[in-house]
Chains A and B, each alone.
Chain A
Amino acid sequence: MSLFASLFLYLALGPHVEEVRLSQLQQRLHAGRDTAYVVNFWATWCKPCVEELPAFDKLSRTYKDQPVKVILVSLDNPAEREAKVVPFLTRRGYEYCDAVVLNEPKPHLWIDRVDQSWSGSIPATLFIKDGRRLFGEFQFSAELLEKTFTDFLNEGK
């Protein structure tokens, strides 16, 4: 689908926010070989997460014509996807980011599958490209996110 068509759909329908299992998300991250993924774990109830989302929006706009995908993974209760997550993202209008709600009920079983070093607090962000990974559990400013991401890309060259 062309960028124009997706934008049109976005404006007409609002953000498409699917519920996914972690295995589905991981499949996607491993399938896109040329793509660099920036995966941000957040929730509407998490204040520092909500504060840093504009940085991810900015990154997604900067790289919108390149093989870079910013995926916002909401850890809100999946039951509140329609009531909270979709309205929130509609208001914010992050049209170049992909958004999903993670449906995994047992955090003690899946947190380590994202990254062993993750304590489970959010915000947390995973950078992934060609099997290389960088994981961090902190709040990004737009400048720091851009710098961390470009350094991550350059290191793989």
Chain B
Amino acid sequence: MKYVLMFMILATSMFAQQGVQTGVVVGDRAPDFRLINIDGQFISLDTYKNSKGLVVVFTCNHCPYSVKYEDRIIALAAETAKLGYPLVAINPNDPVKVPGDSYENMQVRAKEKGFTFPYIVDGTQEIAKAYGAKRTPHVFLLSNASNSWKVEYIGAIDDNANDAEKVESRFVLDAVRSLSSGSTPTVTQTKAIGCTIKWKE
């Protein structure tokens, strides 16, 4: 018991320290946001009120797992946009802890890679907490019915981070395809390895 208590105190303090909160689950209303894009314009859910939904990807510049997925995120954005589900990338990391994830470096990276989607910055980290993003990359797929936004899928982009050639299940694309054909995604939640979000001290 002593040990359990100790661990609970330890866990509570450490999780609190890391800013990890519960966030949303599939079926929840999606939290709104108003965040600045690398072009200086603000983006919110309302920006996409005429789309069928939105693919929200918490990602960043520096994380090697995010880097592994960069080309796949660009390809995914093109495919989901065609189906009426544009993609936005949100960088939740504290640039003080990771200078490579600063606003200026986001602009540089997006230009280098030719991002076709907004790359917005969650400066207060409130949106990452509201969604319950735990790592980069971490995807939240939202559906939209008359500007009422619902969480439909949470998790990984696909089932093989190391080798794009060996991917067997493209979770996000499959879920978008299901939604756009009027059915419920079969897989609504997956786990994946990733970098921890770098929370502010």
User: A residues bordering B, Cβ < 8 Å?
Assistant: 43, 45-46, 48, 75, 77-79, 105-109, 111-112, 118-123, 134, 136, 138, 144, 148, 151-152, 154-155
Query: Which residues of B from 1 to 27 have beta carbons under 8 Å from A?
Result: 2-4, 6-7, 10-11, 14-15, 18
**Complex Cα distance A109/B64, Å?**
21
Residue B74 CB within 8 A of the other chain: no
**Complex Cα distance A72/B28, Å?**
38
Contact B193 A111 (CB under 8 A): yes
**Complex Cα distance A104/B145, Å?**
39
Residue B76 CB within 8 A of the other chain: no
Closest to A134 in B: B7
Residue B86 CB within 8 A of the other chain: no
Contact A155 B3 (CB under 8 A): yes
Partner of A151, one of B6, B134, B155: B6
Closest to B171 in A: A108
Contact A108 B156 (CB under 8 A): yes
Which A residues are in CB contact (< 8 Å) with B135?
A: 119-121
Least Cβ distance of B12 to chain A in Å?
Answer: 12
**Complex Cα distance A7/B147, Å?**
65
Closest to A132 in B: B3
Which of B30-38, B110-118, B157-165 forms contacts with chain A? B157-165
Which A residues are in CB contact (< 8 Å) with B6?
A: 151
A-B contact pairs, 5 of them (CB 8 A): A43-B193, A78-B162, A108-B191, A122-B195, A134-B7
**Complex Cα distance A144/B163, Å?**
36
Closest to A46 in B: B195
Which B residues are in CB contact (< 8 Å) with A78?
A: 162
Secondary structure type dominating chain B contacts: mixed
Number of A-B contacts (CB under 8 A): 81
Which A residues are in CB contact (< 8 Å) with B7?
A: 134, 136, 148, 151
Closest 9 CB pairs of A and B: A155-B3, A45-B64, A108-B190, A121-B135, A119-B134, A111-B191, A77-B162, A121-B196, A120-B191
Residue B166 CB within 8 A of the other chain: yes
Least Cβ distance of A65 to chain B in Å?
Answer: 24
Contact A107 B3 (CB under 8 A): no
Which A residues are in CB contact (< 8 Å) with B193?
A: 43, 75, 107, 111, 120-122
Least Cβ distance of A42 to chain B in Å?
Answer: 11
Known: A112-B191, A120-B134, A155-B4. 18 other contacts (CB 8 A): A45-B64, A45-B65, A105-B166, A107-B161, A108-B171, A108-B191, A111-B193, A118-B191, A119-B135, A121-B193, A121-B194, A122-B193, A122-B195, A136-B7, A138-B18, A148-B10, A151-B3, A155-B3
